[in-house]
Structure 1
Amino acid sequence: MLLDNRSPIWNIPNILTLLRIAAIPVLAVLLLSPSREAGFWAAALFAVASITDWLDGYLARRMGIVTVFGKFLDPIADKLIVMAALIMILPYGRVPAWMVLVILGREIIITGLRGIASTEGIVISASDLGKFKTIFQLVAIIALLLHYDYRWFFSIDHPWLYVNMHNVGMFYLWIATIITIWSGVDYLVKYMRVIAK
């Protein structure tokens, strides 16, 4: 797919990306409250934003309107909404601070290295590890936003039918954090090899 520098900024994929950025302050306001209801709506908003992340990329490729603006803005939108969600639930003790530091630190370092590489005309392809990291991260954040116990079947009240979404979120966040470190090291190794050449 060739990069089309002449495509207008106001196309469907870019509008979806901008809507994802616009959702960030709404998400932050919802997460000012630790209540079950606020967490539910925050999780729903985050889930919809995650779907638009996949959808805007799919539409850009399908419609042949991959733009410089879109390629720049899309990963920034992804990182901003993840950062917003993790930072906003930090005061409630729903996520360990060191995990947030590792996840956000990795994103800042890799984004910086990509920027440096691109100024030299170097493109370092993303690995599948990065995709797995994103999937586990998104699932973890949605579960952590839900946080409370939920029943699988709303009409049946039995202890075995309850699931603690915080525990589910932490399980996936551990996996996401391990892959975050792994993919970060993998990218650094690739970067050093390319720069060495």
Structure 2
Amino acid sequence: MNIPNLLTVLRVLLIPVFVLLFYLPFSWSPLAVSAVFAFAAATDWLDGYLARVLQQSTPFGAFLDPVADKLIVAVALVLLVEAHHNLWLTLPAIIIISREIVVSALREWMAEIGARAQVAVSDLGKWKTAAQMLALVILLAIPPQFSVWVGIGYGLLYISAALTLLSMAQYLRAAWPHLSITPEKK
């Protein structure tokens, strides 16, 4: 176990803390939830940076890092959908979660056929993640009643959803030659 892997495990362990804080009936709970989420988002960047700089990349980290990211984002989106209970937040949440499932399955399948590098994380995916994390930090920090900040959070979430669809199309385009191969007849 090294520092990058410990940070990734910490991100997973923060999920129940994050959920518990979300349901606490205190005025400071939204800010605490947002702070925990922001800390988890920062550890996502930090563990990758440390793994590269310290040359401590491991198969365990390569497996768990994207899982931890997807788990905490999916949990945050589900909690926000419950709190806001409207179509305007539910729609981008469905798009983002669905994309994560499709791209994860695609990457797993591409790895099985030895073509994983063709669906590696792109710059578009990094911009999507940045918009998504900022949107979630904002939306988790404030009550679900409409305000300028909720509008900014929704706007960033829609930008993230649009980038999500674009990056998914990019990954599917890269994988299409492998997906469209017809099986040999016997």
Normalised-by-shorter TM-score class: 0.7 to 0.9
Q: Do structure 1's residue 121 and structure 2's residue 114 form an aligned pair? A: yes
Q: Do structure 1's residue 177 and structure 2's residue 172 form an aligned pair? A: no
- The answer for unaligned runs of 5 or more in structure 1 is 1-9, 150-162
- 2:23 is paired with a residue of what secondary structure? coil
Give the letter for the 1:70 counterpart: G
Comparing both structures, which one devotes a greater share of its residues to helix? 2
Instruction: Answer whether contact 1:146 1:166 (CA < 8 A) is retained.
Output: no
**Moved beyond 3 Å, runs of 4+:** 33-36, 194-197
Alignment correspondent of 1:50: 41
Return 171-180 or 30-39, whichever deviates more.
Answer: 30-39
Q: How does 1:46-195 map to 2 (within 5 A)?
A: 46-93=37-84, 96-123=89-116, 124=118, 125-148=120-143, 164-195=148-179
CA RMSD in angstroms comes to 1.9
Following the alignment from structure 2 to structure 1, what is the Cα–Cα distance between the partners of residues 171 and 148?
A: 35
Displacement of 1:96 after TM fit? 2.0
Change (3 A) 1:164 1:196: same
Displacement of 1:34 after TM fit? 6.8
Change (3 A) 1:177 1:164: same
Alignment correspondent of 2:184: none
- TM-score normalised to structure 2 length: 0.88
Following the alignment from structure 2 to structure 1, what is the Cα–Cα distance between the partners of residues 63 and 6?
A: 14
Instruction: Answer whether contact 1:133 1:179 (CA < 8 A) is retained.
Output: yes
Of the three residues 5, 15, 19, the one matched with 1:14 is 5
Alignment correspondent of 1:3: none
Following the alignment from structure 1 to structure 2, what is the Cα–Cα distance between the partners of residues 169 and 42?
A: 15
Displacement of 1:91 after TM fit? 1.5
Alignment correspondent of 1:30: 21
Displacement of 1:126 after TM fit? 2.2
Instruction: Answer whether contact 1:32 1:88 (CA < 8 A) is retained.
Output: no
Percent of aligned positions that are identical? 38
**How many residues in Structure 1 have an aligned counterpart in Structure 2?**
175
Return 13-22 or 30-39, whichever deviates more.
Answer: 30-39
Following the alignment from structure 2 to structure 1, what is the Cα–Cα distance between the partners of residues 12 and 62?
A: 14
